[in-house]
A and B are shown apart, each in its own frame.
Chain A
Amino acid sequence: MRRLIYLAMILAVAVPLLLGASRSPSRLVSAERMYDVVDTLDAKPGEVALVWLDFGPGTLAENEPQAQVLLEHLFRRRIPVVLLSQYQQAEAALQRIPKEVAERLEAELPGERWSYGDAWVNGGFRPGQSIFIQALVNAPDVSKFLGRDVNGMPITHYPRFAAIGGVEHVKLVGEVTGLVGVFDNIIQFFQKGGYRPTVVHGCTSITIPEAYIFLDSGQLKGLLEGIAGAAWYSEVLKRHYPKSDNSRLLAVNTALSSAHVVLIGLIILGNVVALWQRARRRDG
């Protein structure tokens, strides 16, 4: 029986992907709120967005699309992005994802450039978690505190990031993670003298229930709930930027939806079988 269930799950994911099936995602209000927050973000010259990519291979499938849509939106709005991580296994994602997003945008909009050092800088993995965040928010100049980027170049070398100044010039903090605890660090410690930047979050499906308490309290302004959240965000992006290509993300979301349908079917089947067994026992 277990083998049949495994087979059903594999087919549910693989068949839609192989057939290229694609359905419009379900509307998620939390993702829409996040879109509005990023879209109306008032970042003046010298102000930046700080995006933490705290995920490794384990949750890459869920967190990568979230990081992609968030960075795509920030890049389109020409808001400079500082990338950081509290998780050492995120190193490859920090290097690859912004580069791929920039290349996709450059292909979509010939003549426009999103280059490293101008659109984004990669501050790399930073150990220390809550201690590091407390030191960062208390630093008089974020650029100087971060020191060098992942290539060993001083961050002050890049004109758009040369003098960020205090944490008041970080207008948006994005945290994309599936890990427990790292998002709490941002909520607890990323504040100084009454200043709290706008915080948005991309989480895995497992951590959605926990993230909702911060969304409800207003500490979190927008949330991407797993792949479904990223898919709906990409759909909203496409409405505003019709050339944006979200076909791959919609295909993945469709495959995931198909797996959900199989799961729901299994739950119903399990109950029908249980009822039938109970009835047989009662009849003797």
Chain B
Amino acid sequence: MSERQPIDRRAQVIRAFTLLGGVYFFLYFILPETAAESLGIKARHEAISNGFIVIGAMAVGLGLFNLVSAHGSRIAFARKGWAYSLALLVGLFSMLAVTAAQWRQSLGITAEARKAQIVGEFAQRIVQDAESHAAAPALAVRAAALRAYADGLLDQIGATLLVGPPAETPLGIELRAAAASLRGSLPRLEAVPGESLSPEGKGALTDVGRAGELLSAALGAFLRQESSSTMVQQLYTLLYEGLFNQLGSAMFALLGVYIAAAAFRAFRIRTVESALMMAAALIVMLGQISLGQLISDELPAMRQWLLEVPNSAAFRAIRLGASVAALMLAIRMWLSIESGSFSSRKR
């Protein structure tokens, strides 16, 4: 009698979730909008999609963990190539640290701009509450609170930001103008009566709201300009623009050199097919450079025809075949036929 295999619960859970996830997206894609609405799926789709995106984003964390684990152990046990692993981890952690610092700085700027944004939102809220007769403190009290808040904010901006050379830059001048506009609109809040909202009061609140929005935009732009000279931003620029971008571009640029060497060896006329391929390659290349037009005005048109007709036909056939294969693979994954790696059991 053969020995009974224990049930692999972990693999079963993963297979069940894979199947359910597949069923959900399949149904959502093929069901008419009205059916999705009546089943209550439509209202929850955004939250469900976000859930899947969050799970997908976790792969980044897993990748990071794997990277640190694999290269960390190589450094710890001084295995062959440990110096490369060290360079990788130093690069990883410096980039992480600088990016996190830059992100924090960016959040700080947003929080500052948000202070001005509150002016606009508060003014808008007062109007909305008055029009819908919502339970709220008296209009005059709220208008006075709005004015006090805006005055305090403007004093703070004037004392901390609108001083020194940065205040004379184009964005500094714009910020000063936006601040002056809000300051100018504030006395009109005195026209807001204590009881119901008059047209003058509504106009004053709307103007203050608009001025607050303008100030918020100008403040954000000014602070972002100021932050570009901070050490964190300069470090980020050095690492990303100075190193990462240049190294990545250099890696890709090497392809051009390899293609040139390969073209010299590979594009040789041996058969009729290879002669056809070479002729097509020459026409396509000549058709997209100015030299081609010097040789013949017809070359760009010939290139266009080659790409639109024979190329499209061949690529459609390739795509069709690949898509059928992808569909089969997707069905196998959906039904967990290709799920050997889910299992905790060693094969």
Contact = CB atoms under 8 A, between A and B. Distances in A.
Interface stretch (B11-19, B86-94, B198-206, B251-259): B251-259
A268 to B, nearest CB: 9
B307 A270 contact: no
Interface string B232-270: 000000001100111111011100110111011101110
Contacts of B257: 5-6, 9-10
Contact of B50 (A29, A135, A270): A135
Given A59-B252, A270-B263, A138 B289 contact: no
Interface in A94-141: 115-118, 126-128, 131-132, 134-135, 138-139
B53 A151 contact: no
Contact of A127 (B57, B240, B259): B57
Interface string A137-166: 011000001000011110001110000000
Q: Which 6 residue pairs of A and B lie closest in terms of their CB atoms, listed nearest first? A: A57-B248, A128-B53, A135-B49, A257-B289, A152-B110, A58-B252
A103 B309 CA distance: 42
Interface of B: 25, 28-29, 33, 42, 45-46, 49-50, 52-53, 56-57, 60, 106-107, 109-110, 113-114, 117, 213, 216-217, 220-221, 224, 240-241, 244-249, 251-253, 256-257, 259-261, 263-265, 267-269, 278, 281-282, 285-293, 300, 304, 307-308, 311-312, 315-316, 319
A159 B315 CA distance: 44
B288 A225 contact: yes
B286 A263 contact: no
Interface residues of A, number: 70
Interface stretch (A20-28, A36-44, A70-78, A169-177): A20-28
A266 B263 contact: yes
Given A57-B248, A132-B49, A213-B319, A26 B259 contact: no
A61 interface: yes
A269 B308 CA distance: 29
Given A128-B53, A270-B267, A271-B268, A92 B42 contact: no
Contact of A213 (B221, B249, B316): B316
Interface in A266-280: 266-267, 269-271, 274
Contacts of A26: 287-290, 292-293, 300
A267 B264 contact: yes
